[in-house]
Amino acid sequence: MIKMILLLIISSLLVSCGQINSELKPTLSFTNEDVHNEVVTNTNEFAFQLLKSLKERDESILISPFSISLALAMTVNGADGDTKTAMIEAMQQTSVPLEEINQSFQALMNIMTNADPKVQLSIANSLWGREDKNFYEDFVATNKDFYDAKLTLLDFQAADAVETINKWVNQETSGKIEKIIEDPIDHDTVLFLVNAIYFKGDWKLPFSKNRTVDKPFFTKDGKQQTVKMMSNEGAFQYFDKNGLQGIRLPYGDGRFAMDLFLPTQSMDQFLENTTKDEWLKWMTSFQTMNGYLEMPRFSLEYENSLVEVLKTFGMEVAFDEHKANLSKIAPVPPNLYISEVLHKTFIDVNEEGAEAAAVTSVEVKEESAPMYDFYMEVNRPFLYVIHDTETQAILFIGVTEEINE
């Protein structure tokens, strides 16, 4: 029985300093009006549902719902019948025709990679097919036209096949994720669909390394960690309502931002009621306020199979070697089905960016303390979201319940 491996790779995120080469960015061909609003809101709902499901198994996690949605969308173009319906339902995209899903993702990729010259965002897609298998021209052309995903044919049993795919992965994530494929490739595998996202941005309001100190962080189970706590002060977009603090930390010129949410209740209870509707409420709750922020420096590497989670979302048929209908990808029989869905992410959050010449600000901080509108001390589990502040498309979403540096 021939199988198809669907690899949802890779969301690689690096927050650090460095010059951004705007010459590498493609030409802007679309505007926000080319994006169907429901595609974005549906993808964000998918993000929160996926986060909740994965949170049941892991404490600290990081996913890119945009990366996962792109890889699934590429695959849906090769699905038919009940399999196509089930995959679209799992993606939460039933309210939008597939053609508009393709068009919206195409526009989003183009808009966001051109959105801010001070932020480096690259989104790459690729198809890797077994050289002795014929793939339908419509499937290949659709993924090339909308997702810029080129089909490369390889001898999967050749010694350099795995190295070739992993080299592409390594290149598209600037070396942050070195490999995703392991030797040997199964004899029945006919296709890999790969997505890679790389993000690098300087904080618009950078943290000073001179102000980073050791402080306690209280994990989910109440244990105390000593962590490197960064601090900053100034005018922030902020809110505090119903037991939830939220703060926006923009990158570059401000089009992209990390929104950080600190609930007073447990993270599990908080996520239980978190939906796209709550997200939209948060987005309209921010107000400019003068405040003081402390947050931990942290990093995380995360890797997980999404098969079981996607099955619970109604996609079981796509993984059934007998019932799956991916007949628009390549001639059947033998039947094609998805055997694995892998997702791998990396994040590094630290002070780096344009160094602020404000060494005396530590002293000012202490003297001016009573004048702040708010204090936000991120010393317990928190949710963070990196997104496009105009379209509200979520690139990355994660939960940190203990700190890795």
Convert the pLDDT of each residue in 217-243 to its tens digit: 999 888 899 999 999 999 999 999 999
Residue 200 confidence (pLDDT):
84
Q: Look at 6 and 221; give whichever has higher pLDDT.
A: 221
What would the two tokens of residue 135 be? 């793939």
- Average pLDDT over every residue of 172-180: 80
> pLDDT band at 405, cuts 50/70/90?
low
- Average pLDDT over every residue of 15-33: 61
- Average pLDDT over every residue of 395-404: 90
Q: Which of 4-18, 170-184, 213-227, 381-395 has the lowest mean pLDDT?
A: 4-18
- Average pLDDT over every residue of 330-334: 86
Q: What is the pTM of this model?
A: 0.90
Residue 352 near residue 200 (C-beta atoms within 8 A): no
Q: Where are the beta strands (DSSP E) in 162-223?
A: 189-201, 213-218
Residue 84 near residue 161 (C-beta atoms within 8 A): no
Question: How many C-beta neighbours within 10 Å does residue 405 have?
Answer: 13
Q: 62: closest CA among 302, 391, 316?
A: 302
Question: How many C-beta neighbours within 10 Å does residue 240 have?
Answer: 17
Convert the pLDDT of each residue in 130-155 to its tens digit: 898 899 999 999 999 999 999 999 99
- Average pLDDT over every residue of 31-36: 94
C-alpha 88/C-alpha 73 separation (Å) is 8
Q: Look at 245 and 360; give whichever has higher pLDDT.
A: 245
Q: Which amino acid is at 351?
A: E
pLDDT at 211 over 50: yes
Q: Look at 179 and 260; give whichever has higher pLDDT.
A: 260
Q: Which of 234-248, 337-351, 382-396 has the lowest mean pLDDT?
A: 337-351
Q: Which of 52-61, 321-330, 362-371 has the lowest mean pLDDT?
A: 362-371
C-alpha 393/C-alpha 152 separation (Å) is 30
Residue 364 confidence (pLDDT):
20
pLDDT at 98 over 80: yes
Averaged confidence pLDDT in the chain: 85
Residue 121 confidence (pLDDT):
85
- Average pLDDT over every residue of 24-39: 85
Q: Which domains does the chain have, with CATH numbers?
A: 3-201+300-347 (3.30.497.10), 209-295+361-400 (2.30.39.10)
Question: Residue 323, SS3?
Answer: coil
State how beta strands 224-241 and 287-296 pair.
antiparallel
Residue 158 confidence (pLDDT):
92
C-alpha 158/C-alpha 130 separation (Å) is 11
